[in-house]
Homo-oligomer: A and B are copies of this chain.
Amino acid sequence: MIDGAMLVGNEVRQSASRFQSSDPSTGTALTPDFSSAGEAEVAEACALAAAAAPVYAATDPESRAAFLEAIANEIEAIGDDLIARAVQESGLPRGRIEGERGRTTGQLRLFAKVVRQGDWLDVTIDPAMPDRAPLPRPDLRRMNIAVGPVAVFGASNFPLAFSVAGGDTASALAAGCPVVVKGHPAHPGTGELVARAIQRAVAACNLPAGTFSYLPGETNALGAALVSDPRIKAVGFTGSRGGGLALMKIAAARKEPIPVYAEMSSINPVILMPAALAARGQALAEGYVQSLTMGAGQFCTNPGLVLAIGGPDLDAFAAAAGTALSSSAPATMLSPSIHQSFEQGVAALAGHDAVTTIARGLPQTGANQAVGALFQTDAEQFLADAALGHEVFGSSSVIVRCSDMDQLIDVIAHLEGQLTATLQLDDGDIADAQRLLPVLADRVGRILANGWPTGVEVAHAMVHGGPFPATSDGRTTSVGTLAMQRFLRPVAFQNLPVGLLPSALSDDNSWGVARRIDGVREASPQ
């Protein structure tokens, strides 16, 4: 079922240029080898996507929803081959990959439901007022339409849920946009299996061939060519800050600049409020280390920073966290390059004059394993060196001791944009937390209380986004149903004759969607 192909529309191609993936747990190369897509395939895939765009954008909600469900079914139909390959390529445990498959198909089915309901169209009608003085008001109707072909760059840390058929692809397809995926070179076999599932769904649903293409490859030039192609109208990316910034630069320099939705970098501060720290420091330390080391710490929402006021309670917390981390098992990272970056980041912190190492996890027993790392410093040092606030992707975290609540607030105000912030608090902390809340809200996309930032619910109310550099566009989310909005834009229709009005805007509301009429919105259909 895997032969290293590129999928250009409904075609299956091979390139003479090849690359290999490896099993990170052993470092050994995996078969088969894979096509490295080049500029020719980018141009062809984008031309097909542009041709497909108006046809696919015009699909009615039922057809589009059925397509999303067909993708989910095709992914499930791959069966254990998908799980086995993803485990092999990612080094992630089987249970995690099985859960991730459920999240991937569940996400597609949730978008199908949302597409059918139609709230995303934001249908807004201001009826004509022919007798208004001094000028009559025209009939004005507005709806959202698809922006056009979208380039998706899969993430290495979610080989299913944020890769070929992951959140970016699902939300772009739900919005009515053809998708060209640049396959991640760390899991090309997993990518190809999923891409072929989507290709089958496109055929089964009689959609235009260009609705989906899959271009595996390992060069930056491939990604650059894709983002540069004038037919691409938006980009979804999850990965490193350097990668995201490079794509933003390319997109901004185009003749027609386009939006890049890059989810890049976050250290996800956890704030231990005084009463909570005094009451349950030991339990907090254990929960923290569990969140920090889960999946080798390879989550965008990994808790890489702890802020608290110095004193005996924080000392006890740090000691307990150090004890917990000391007995944490090493865990295989996603790829040799990610492991190498982790090692470099940890070494830089360990060697920093202002940083003390509290503990390391148990030593490596195999290739590419992350050994947990826990550091501490104080607020003045942290504020003095921006490097201490940079993400070390993996199970590395820094505890920052603040002198008082004012200094803690000052540290938050100086943080770069973050995906999340977590408050550990008890009743006695509410007054202080009320002071913190607006400062936090200014810096992050999601604020949580008495939990841990890892684990991102795919829901209507989720925001997996945040001010730069957490993402390139803090007005958006890449997880949850709001993610569709990234690939839509509003168009107004003025005084259109009945025969020309799009179905969503027709007087008889033939799609049965909730409308805003004269500024007053109807309830959603159930």
B residues near A137, Cβ cutoff 8 Å: 457, 459
Asked if B461 contacts A141 (CB within 8 A), the reply is yes
A460 interface hit (Cβ, 8 Å): yes
Q: State the 6 A-B residue pairs at the shortest beta-carbon distance, nearest first.
A: A448-B494, A463-B492, A140-B461, A142-B461, A446-B492, A521-B524
Q: Measured between alpha carbons, how far is A289 from B28 in the docked complex, in Å?
A: 74
B residues near A467, Cβ cutoff 8 Å: 256, 489
Asked if A460 contacts B516 (CB within 8 A), the reply is yes
Asked if B445 contacts A492 (CB within 8 A), the reply is yes
B residues near A477, Cβ cutoff 8 Å: 490
With A252-B252, A492-B446 already in contact, the answer to whether A430 and B499 are too (CB < 8 A) is yes
Specify how many copies of this chain sit in the oligomer.
2
A126 interface hit (Cβ, 8 Å): yes
Asked if A462 contacts B58 (CB within 8 A), the reply is no
Asked if A444 contacts B491 (CB within 8 A), the reply is yes
A442 interface hit (Cβ, 8 Å): yes
A54 interface hit (Cβ, 8 Å): yes
A336 interface hit (Cβ, 8 Å): no
What does the 1/0 interface line of A117-155 toward B look like (CB < 8 Å)?
101000011100000001101101110010110000000
Asked if B497 contacts A475 (CB within 8 A), the reply is no
B residues near A461, Cβ cutoff 8 Å: 124-126, 140-142, 492
A198 interface hit (Cβ, 8 Å): no
Quick one: which of B142, B257, B495, B524 contacts A468, CB cutoff 8 A?
A: B257
Would you list which residues of chain A between 170 and 209 have a CB under 8 Å from chain B? none
Q: Measured between alpha carbons, how far is A324 from B482 in the docked complex, in Å?
A: 51
A434 interface hit (Cβ, 8 Å): yes
Asked if B124 contacts A256 (CB within 8 A), the reply is no
A78 interface hit (Cβ, 8 Å): no
Quick one: which of B248, B439, B460, B497 contacts A430, CB cutoff 8 A?
A: B497
Would you list which residues of chain A between 443 and 489 have a CB under 8 Å from chain B? 444-451, 455, 457, 459-463, 465, 467-469, 472-477, 481-482, 488-489
With A140-B459, A459-B126 already in contact, the answer to whether A465 and B437 are too (CB < 8 A) is no
B residues near A496, Cβ cutoff 8 Å: 447-449
Quick one: which of B433, B441, B459 contacts A145, CB cutoff 8 A?
A: B441
